[in-house]
Structure 1
Amino acid sequence: MKKLLLLALLAQTAAAEEAPSDGPPGPPSRWGLGVGAVASDSPYAGEGTRVMPVPLISYQGEKFFFQGIRAGWQFVRTDAFEFAAIAQFKFDGFDIKDLSRQQLAANGLDYRLLEDRDDSLDAGVTAKWSGMAGEIELELLTDVTDKSGGQQFSLQYGYPLHWGQTMVTPNVGVTWLSDDTANYYYGTLDKEVARGAIDYKPDAATIPHVGVNVMRSFGRNWSAFAFLKYSVLPDEIKDSPFLEPDSNGSASILIGVSRNF
C-alpha cells in the first residue's frame, strides 16, 4: 500500500501542469496544495484492498521542484521536451506482520523465518517528449541506499484527448526491474534461505501496465483528477510465495482535487 503514496503525491503536480485552463493568462503557479484518496488491490498475501486519504503538495521553481516525495533539478523544460535529475522515495517495502501468516504458510513460508523489506531512496534521470503524436516518458532509477541495490527502468506512452476543460489521457507502459530489485521485493533473501525458508529468486522482471488519467480544470487555479492503473504481473513475480495465489495483476486508483498558488 505504501507504494501508492508515490502515485498520489506526484498526481497533484501532473494535474496542475497538464490540465487545461479556462482562465486569463497570468504568472506561472509555483505551489500546489490538494487532497486525494488512493485505493489499491494489493497482490501481497493478506493485504487485500485498502483506501487511504493523502495530502498533495508540490512546488515548481525555474529549475528546482519537488512533488511530495520526489525532488529534482530540471536541465531542460520546453513544451516539447523535459529532462531532469531526480531523487525519490521508493515505497515498495513491507512489514511481515502486515501479511497473512496463514496465506504465507499455505505458500510454504514460515513468517518467523522472514524479514521486513525496507523502503529506499532512488535517484536517476527522467525525460519526457510531447508532440502531436502523444507523450513519451522515460525514467531510469537506481537504489542509492543499497536496500535492494537494484535499478528500475520505466517507459510510458500516452495520448491526451481534450474536451473543453477536460483532458483524458489513455496510457500504456512497461517497468523493468533488475534482478536485485525483483529478488529483494518478491523473492526470499539469502539469510532467510539459510534459516530454512524456501529459495525463490525471480531475477529481472518486466511489468506492463495500462491506465487512464482524467483531469478537469475549474478556472485558472483549481483542478480535479482521477488516475487509474492496472499492472499485469509476469510469471517471475506472480509465482512469488509472498503473493496471493493466482495474483495476475494489481489495480490502483487515485482521485483528488488541488489548487495552484
Structure 2
Amino acid sequence: MFKKLLTGTVICIGTGAYADGEWTVGILGVGTTGTYVGEDDTVGVAPFLTYETDRLSVGLDGVSYNVLEYQQGTVGLALGYRGGPDFPNKDPLFDGLKRDDAVEAGITAQLDFGNAYVSLHTMTDVSDTHGGTEANVVVGYAIAPGSFVVSAEVGARFRDKDLNQYLYGVSATEATAARSAYAADQTTTAFANLAVVYPVTQTISAVGIVEYEDLGSNADSPLVDKSDVVGVGLGLIMSF
C-alpha cells in the first residue's frame, strides 16, 4: 500500500519527466497502523527509487508505459509487484497461514484539467497467485502555494472477492480451532492521500505524505483488527 503511494503521488507532484530520463532516489521514515489481529503499529525506513521519461516510469513497485498520449491525458500499460500480506507470525491465529507474492498487469489512464486530474488504475494477477483484480479511480488536485507543492487525492478502490480472499480470507482448508473460515466478498471502499513537497535545493526536496484507507466489509474478517488503515511518511528525495 505505502510504496504505491510514494511512487505514485511523490513523483507526480515532486519531479518532472523528461525525454532523456530522470532518476529520483530517496529515503523516507514511514509509519502505518496495524491491520491484522496482533499486528502492532509499525515505524520503519523505506527506500525510494524511480526512473522517469516522457512515456516510461520504472519504480520499486513496477513499470508503466504510456502507449497513448494526447492533449489532455494519457493511456498506459502497467506491470507491478504485490507483496504477500505480512501476517503477524507471533500470533497463533496466523500459524500456518501464508500468501505468496504476486505479479500483476493492468491499464492506467489519466485526464488533466489544469491543476485537477482524474485517473484510473486497474491491475489483475497474471502469476496465478490470487487471480484477483483491483481498480482505483482517483480525483486529485495540486497547488503550489509559495515554494510548496501540495497534492490532495480522494478515490474509490474496487477489489474483487479473489483479491480480498488473498488479503483477508480464510478458506475451509485453512480454518483451525483458533481461526474460523471466512469467505471474503468484493468491496468498493474509499481512500484519500495528501502529499507535500518542499524544494530544499534545485535537486533535493523534502517530502511529507499521509494516506487513509477504509477497509469496508473486510473489517469483518477474523484476521482483521481495524476498520481502516493510516500511513504516514517523511523524508528526502533527490532528482538528477
TM-score (norm 1): 0.82
1:104-183 equivalences in 2 (<5 Å): 104=93, 111-112=94-95, 114-132=96-114, 134-183=116-165
The residue number in structure 1 matching 2:77 is 85
Maintained 8 Å contact 2:39/2:88? no
Q: 1:176 to 1:149 in 2, by over 3 A?
A: same
Maintained 8 Å contact 1:87/1:122? yes
Inter-partner Cα distance in structure 2 for 1:131 and 1:62: 19
| Residue 210 (structure 1) aligned with residue 208 (structure 2) | no
65-74 vs 146-155, greater mean Cα deviation: 65-74
In the TM superposition, residue 5 of structure 1 has moved relative to its aligned partner by 3.3
Maintained 8 Å contact 1:8/1:54? no
Inter-partner Cα distance in structure 1 for 2:14 and 2:66: 17
SS of corresponding position for 1:44: coil
7-16 vs 115-124, greater mean Cα deviation: 7-16
In the alignment, structure 1 segments of 5+ residues that lack a partner are 20-25, 105-110
In the TM superposition, residue 9 of structure 1 has moved relative to its aligned partner by 4.5
Maintained 8 Å contact 1:12/1:34? no
Maintained 8 Å contact 2:67/2:76? yes
In the TM superposition, residue 78 of structure 1 has moved relative to its aligned partner by 5.8
The residue number in structure 2 matching 1:254 is 233
In the TM superposition, residue 136 of structure 1 has moved relative to its aligned partner by 1.1
- Greater RCO, 1 or 2 (C-alpha within 8 Å, sep 6+): 1
The residue identity in structure 1 corresponding to 2:5 is L
The residue identity in structure 2 corresponding to 1:259 is M
Amino-acid identity (%) = 21
In the TM superposition, residue 61 of structure 1 has moved relative to its aligned partner by 3.0
Inter-partner Cα distance in structure 2 for 1:121 and 1:43: 22
Inter-partner Cα distance in structure 2 for 1:27 and 1:162: 24
Q: 1:97 to 1:122 in 2, by over 3 A?
A: same
| Residue 241 (structure 1) aligned with residue 222 (structure 2) | yes
Inter-partner Cα distance in structure 2 for 1:96 and 1:171: 30
Q: 1:7 to 1:91 in 2, by over 3 A?
A: farther
Maintained 8 Å contact 2:155/2:192? yes
Maintained 8 Å contact 1:82/1:128? yes
Q: 1:53 to 1:203 in 2, by over 3 A?
A: same
Note the alpha carbon deviations across 1:23-75, whole angstroms, 9 max, x for none: xxx98651111111211002211112111212211111343320122112221
Inter-partner Cα distance in structure 2 for 1:18 and 1:227: 18
Higher helix content, 1 or 2 = 1
The residue identity in structure 2 corresponding to 1:47 is E
Note the alpha carbon deviations across 1:93-133, whole angstroms, 9 max, x for none: 224525x23xx3xxxxxx44x42122211110111111136
Maintained 8 Å contact 1:33/1:258? yes
In the TM superposition, residue 239 of structure 1 has moved relative to its aligned partner by 0.7
Inter-partner Cα distance in structure 1 for 2:131 and 2:24: 33
Inter-partner Cα distance in structure 2 for 1:51 and 1:248: 20
Maintained 8 Å contact 2:215/2:229? yes
The residue identity in structure 1 corresponding to 2:2 is L
The residue number in structure 2 matching 1:75 is 67
Inter-partner Cα distance in structure 2 for 1:27 and 1:143: 31
For these two proteins, the number of residue pairs brought into alignment is 239
Inter-partner Cα distance in structure 1 for 2:236 and 2:72: 27
The residue number in structure 2 matching 1:7 is 5
Q: 1:134 to 1:8 in 2, by over 3 A?
A: closer
In the TM superposition, structure 1's runs of 4+ consecutive aligned residues that sit over 6 Å from their partners are: none
SS of corresponding position for 2:202: coil
The residue number in structure 2 matching 1:231 is 213
Paired residue for 1:198, among 180, 184, 191? 180
In the TM superposition, residue 77 of structure 1 has moved relative to its aligned partner by 4.3
In the TM superposition, residue 18 of structure 1 has moved relative to its aligned partner by 6.2
Output the aligned Cα RMSD: 2.5
